[in-house]
Amino acid sequence: MTEKDFIPTHYSKRNIESVQEGKQGKTVWKSPSNIALVKYWGKRENQLPANPSISFTLDSCATVTSVTFTKLKNRSKTFAFDVLFEGESRPDFRPKIATFLNRIETYLPFLRWYNLRIETSNSFPHSSGIASSASGMSALALCLIDMENDIAPMADEEFFIKKASFLARLGSGSACRSVEGDIVHWGYHEKTKGSSDLYGIKFPYAVDDIFKEYQDTILLVDKGKKEVSSTLGHNLMHGHPFAQRRFEQAHTNLDRLHKVFSSGDLDGFVDIVESEALTLHAMMMSSRPYFILMKPNTLEIINKIWAFRKATQSKVCFTLDAGANVHVLYPKMEKQRVLEFIENDLVAHCEKGHYICDRIGYGAKKM
Ligand code: DP6
């Protein structure tokens, strides 16, 4: 598929115009966050990834967004919308949403004919240092494509999901991996059937049952706002001395992960996932300007996980996103002992002792 396939042809400007002024509708979607195993870091024009990535969709870390849309008399010169976050008006959210609406207007040409009231809230605390852009942009994309469905119904559910992921990507790259579950691949990869830079797809091959109920406990090491935005970090991969080699490595790690998923080889899983996390941060540390997002407590936790694994033969491992928080990943059968380990040894390194228990999930839902 190409970008053009997402430009609607089943309705025209005249169809949009003919909707009665003041006609109102509402759509509500809940979309989860996701955690990448092979990381997306580096992008090209139009939110296209420099390398393919893969993630576990999460379950309880999610954003609920509603869009109430009211038909205007005429096409508005600028986008007409209000944003409320957890019940309060948030003008500071407007620029990001305006950029998003601009990027997607070609694919949702009715947008300027409506006033949008966007209300959004997260299941996780706002000041948790957890990025809400994946769940937030995915939930908003789903609301807007659902709105299109309301104006001009489309029959094909598969296409609906693809387009939702395509639109979410234009809001935030990783958001395209939050529409579906439980394992989502994004970006062209020779050995992944149906893979595309334009949208995420459900991992298309058989996966060993051990990965079906994987757990993710997120240790909140630093609840502050990110010091360096992902967008800035991605841009620093342009001209990065190791970028090309890193992009190739992501392809190889995906090849290896395919084997790990089918065989259930947890040692292989640990090796790929931890190496990806550290490589992501190594890219940040070796870009110009260079920066470090890990905190002393991030390293304390990593070292304790390694010591615990050595002492117990546990298959617990960690991954990081673009921040100091640590995602602790482990199979369900280890839940009790890993949670004990977290309580006894790791909680001391979390800000105010806070952590969030999550697990692999099955994608966004209409409410
Ligand atoms: C480190 O998707 O937040 O979490 O496309 O600029 O919105 P933008 O970036 P974003 O980057 C996520 C980077 C990451 C790795 C990943 O999720 O694959």
* Minimum-distance ligand 1 atom for the alpha carbon of 34: 17
The answer to whether the CB of 99 falls within 8 A of the CB of 49 is: no
Is ligand 1 within 6 A of the CB of residue 34?
no
Does the beta carbon of 172 lie inside 6 Å of ligand 1?
Answer: yes
Kindly give the pairing relationship between strand 114-122 and strand 80-85: parallel
d(CA 356, CA 129): 12
Per-residue confidence at 129, pLDDT binned at 50, 70, 90?
Answer: low
Ligand 1 pocket, 322 CB below 6 A? yes
Local structure of residue 241 (DSSP, 8 states): T
| pLDDT given at position 312 | 97
CA–CA separation, 150 and 145 (whole Å): 9
H-only helix segments in the chain: 13-17, 94-104, 133-151, 157-171, 230-235, 243-263, 266-285, 296-312, 335-341
Q: Ligand 1 pocket, 53 CB below 6 A?
A: yes
Q: Would the pLDDT of 18 be above 70?
A: yes
Q: Is 234 in the pocket of ligand 1 (CB under 6 A)?
A: yes
What is the phi/psi pair of residue 2, to 5°?
Answer: -120, 175
Calculate what percentage of the chain has a pLDDT beyond 70: 99
What is the tens place of the pLDDT at every residue in 65-119?
999 999 999 999 999 999 999 999 999 999 999 999 999 999 999 999 999 999 9
Q: Is the CB of 321 under 6 A from ligand 1?
A: yes
Q: Is the CB of 173 under 6 A from ligand 1?
A: yes
* Residue with CA nearest ligand 1 atom 8: 172
Question: Which domains are seen in the chain, by residue range?
Answer: 3-206 (3.30.230.10), 212-359 (3.30.70.890)
Encoding tokens for residue 249? 């490595």
Q: What is the mean pLDDT of residues 22-44?
A: 97
Token pair for residue 81? 């919308």
Give pLDDT, residue 127: 64
- Let me know if 7 is exposed, middle or buried by CB neighbors in 10 A (0-12, 13-18, 19+): exposed
Whether residue 56 has its Cβ less than 6 Å from ligand 1: no
Q: Are 167 and 174 in contact (CB under 8 A)?
A: no
DSSP-derived letter for residue 346 is I
Q: 207 is written with which tokens?
A: 């996966």
Q: What b/e string do you get for 195-212 counting C-beta neighbours within 10 Å, with b at 16 or more?
A: bbbbbbbebeeeeeebbe
What's the CA-to-centroid distance between 223 and ligand 1, angstroms?
18
* CA–CA gap between residue 39 and residue 275 (Å, rounded): 10
Sign of CA dihedral 124, 130, 134, 137: positive
- Average the pLDDT over 239-250 and give the result: 98
| Mean pLDDT to the nearest integer, 279-294 | 97
Q: Ligand 1 centre from 172 Cα, in Å?
A: 7
Write the DSSP string, 184-214.
Answer: EEES--TTSTT--SSSEEE--S---GGGTT-
Q: Is 231 in the pocket of ligand 1 (CB under 6 A)?
A: yes
How many angstroms is it from 362 CA to the middle of ligand 1? 20
**What is the biggest distance separating any 2 CA atoms in the chain, rounded to whole angstroms?**
69
Average pLDDT value over all residues in the chain: 95
Other beta carbons less than 10 A from residue 2's beta carbon: 8
The residue written with tokens 């209300």 in the block is: 119
Q: Is the pLDDT of residue 224 over 80?
A: no
Q: How far is the CA of 345 from the centre of ligand 1 (A)?
A: 29
Question: Is ligand 1 within 6 A of the CB of residue 270?
Answer: no
- What pLDDT, on the 0 to 100 scale, is given for residue 155? 75
Contact 189, 254 (CB under 8 A): yes
Question: pLDDT grade, residue 130 (50/70/90)?
Answer: confident
